[in-house]
Amino acid sequence: MAEQGNDDELRELVPLAAGGDQRALRDVLRIIYPQVVRYTRARIGGGRMPTAEDVAQEICLAVATSIHKYEDLGRPFMAFVYGIAFNKVADAHRALFRDKLTPTEDVPDSVATGVTPEDFALEVDGSNEIRALLDLLGDKARDIIVLRVFVGLSAEETAEAVGSTPGAVRVAQHRAIAKLRKALEEQDRDS
């Protein structure tokens, strides 16, 4: 129900924001931010730089700077947002690999206090397992699972976001879940 209210509100606010209304733009960003964070947490998770929240902010910034280009072609505004999100998450994944190859020149002067690496590893272990399972899927199937399961979109909303049909989304979701189930069963047998 809240999603439908957000869709209605976005339908009113987006044209105003695209026309330069700063208050409308702030309201659009307020509405989309929680959905964008859920998406980035599912795709990036914790324990990585940039963080899911960093990428969510980049997505919102990109939406704010490109909202004037949005054309209502009968698809929900969130399809436009998720299109940007797909690209920003891909950029973040590329940055992760780049950063691992670049050694640091500076050694810290003091020991960090607070959460130890062991504590941190235990905290993010569960999300890393989920991410590893999602990595078994192709890009489109992974996006469908993330949007349907983690973000909570309907098959129709997901279809519009990924450029497909609701029926194809349901089939892809079913196949992806079957593949994940099989991988978990094999993992259990090997343990």
Angle between helices 117-134 and 22-43 (to 10 degrees): 90
Task: Say which residues have a Cβ less than 8 Å from residue 52's Cβ, sequence separation at least 6.
Answer: 37, 40, 41, 43, 44, 45, 46
What is the residue-level pLDDT of the chain in tens, covering all 191 positions?
A: 455 567 889 999 999 999 999 999 999 999 999 999 988 888 876 656 678 888 999 999 999 999 998 888 877 898 889 889 988 888 887 776 655 555 556 655 655 555 555 454 545 445 567 777 888 888 888 888 888 887 778 888 888 888 889 999 999 999 999 998 898 888 888 86
The answer to whether 88 and 43 have CB atoms below 8 angstroms apart is no
The CA distance from 162 to 167, in Å, is 13
Count of CB atoms within 10 A of residue 92's CB? 21
From 24, 23, 86, select the one nearest 58 (Cα to Cα).
86
User: Could you tell me the residue ranges of all domains in the chain?
Assistant: 1-103, 124-190
Q: Find how far residue 165's CA is from the centre of its chain.
A: 20
pTM here?
0.63
> CATH number for the 124-190 domain, one of 3.40.50.300, 3.40.50.2300, 1.10.10.10, 3.40.50.970?
1.10.10.10
> CATH number for the 1-103 domain, one of 2.30.30.30, 1.10.8.80, 1.20.1260.10, 1.10.1740.10?
1.10.1740.10
The CA distance from 129 to 158, in Å, is 24
